[in-house]
Amino acid sequence: SKAKLFDEKNDIKVTFKDVAGLEGAKEEIQEIVEFLKNPEKYTSIGGKIPKGALLVGPPGTGKTLLAKAVAGEAKVPFFSLSGSDFVEMFVGVGASRVRDLFKQAKEKSPAIIFIDEIDAVGRARGKNNFSGSNDERENTLNQLLTEMDGFGTNTNVIVLAATNRADVLDKALMRAGRFDRQIYVDLPDIRERREIFEVHLKPLKKSEDLDTEFLAKQTPGFSGADIANVCNEAALIAARNDKKAVDKQDFLDAVDRIVGGLEKKNKIISPEE
Ligand code: ATP
């Protein structure tokens, strides 16, 4: 089947309420919501609306969720794609696909474009450039830069991009008028883990013995995605045991399973250990 380059969603329901913790990031990105809701307020007095912001942080910390929440809060269409898809699936046509994407977003503006894993296309140019595929990647990156430079101040398309490797990105991406704002999305601390548990416990039938403070204490180093996994895993374990509600033991078992999975994953990533 033919792979789709990007996904377009016009009715995003995610709002800031769905994003637990991350107060600083939400505060910073709130400004982008304001721009999208009411661009004239800024442009009429000569202000320039930012074109892009980079969401930087470890995997599973809610970067995609936060980008969706911006679209949900501002009630604008959300165009999304992943940088790695770009490089793997669209050999030879990356640059023209970028053009298509921006064209469609402009037609529907105000709109958000979200590029996950921007490092896959956005690594610094001119390094290790021994293969044709690198030229392809560079063409795609150059087109992205061209598109961002090309929109006027009244285009009202804001590009959000996520990465966990801001250090490898081409500095040209961060230049003024491109991704000139960086928003940090870190692993949650204990208080934030508690809040994330609250969000993901909501849809579950819970037993009386559950308490989010305890759960937060059991999960140091967990990302939001890990916590969402724990909650779902605990529900599956409870159901498998014919329980009517998810209890503390189900959570402890779920945490063990997730920790086991994380350890395996780390072994694969660093085989020298
Ligand atoms: P990656 O870098 O791996 O793409 P990401 O930072 O984009 O990860 P998300 O895809 O947004 O992470 O998070 C995955 C899921 O984890 C979310 O859909 C949500 O269910 C849960 N999650 C992550 N962070 C949070 C959070 N702060 N509050 C609530 N849920 C969260």
Task: Please work out whether the CB of residue 184 comes within 6 Å of at least one atom of ligand 1.
Answer: no
Least confident of 101-105, 159-163, 249-253, 261-265: 261-265
pTM above threshold 0.95: no
* Strand order across the 181-184 sheet: 7-9, 78-82, 111-116, 157-163, 52-56, 181-184
3 pLDDT tier (thresholds 50, 70, 90): low
88 pLDDT tier (thresholds 50, 70, 90): low
Query: Which 8-state DSSP code applies to residue 169?
Result: B
Q: Out of 19, 54, 64, 258, give the residue to mutate to test ligand 1, the one with the largest number of ligand atoms within 8 Å of its CB.
A: 64
Beta 157-163 vs 111-116: how paired, if at all?
parallel
Task: Please work out whether the CB of residue 228 comes within 6 Å of at least one atom of ligand 1.
Answer: yes
* 191 pLDDT above the threshold of 90: yes
> 189, 196, 180: which is closest to 66 by C-alpha?
196
Report how far ligand 1's centroid is from the alpha carbon of 225 (Å): 5
Which ligand 1 atom sits nearest the alpha carbon of residue 192?
27
Where is the binding site for ATP, in residues?
57-64
Q: Out of 55, 65, 78, 262, give the residue to mutate to test ligand 1, the one with the largest number of ligand atoms within 8 Å of its CB.
A: 65
* Structure-token match 């307020």, residue found: 41
Q: For residue range 37-47, what is the model confidence (pLDDT) as tens digits?
A: 998 888 888 88
pLDDT of residue 60: 96
* 273 pLDDT above the threshold of 50: no
pLDDT of residue 127: 55
Average pLDDT, the chain: 87
Q: For residue range 220-240, what is the model confidence (pLDDT) as tens digits?
A: 999 999 999 999 999 999 999
What is the ipTM score, two decimals?
A: 0.96
Residues 6+ apart with CB under 8 A from 145: 172, 173, 178
pLDDT of residue 1: 37
Q: What percent of the chain has pLDDT over 70?
A: 87
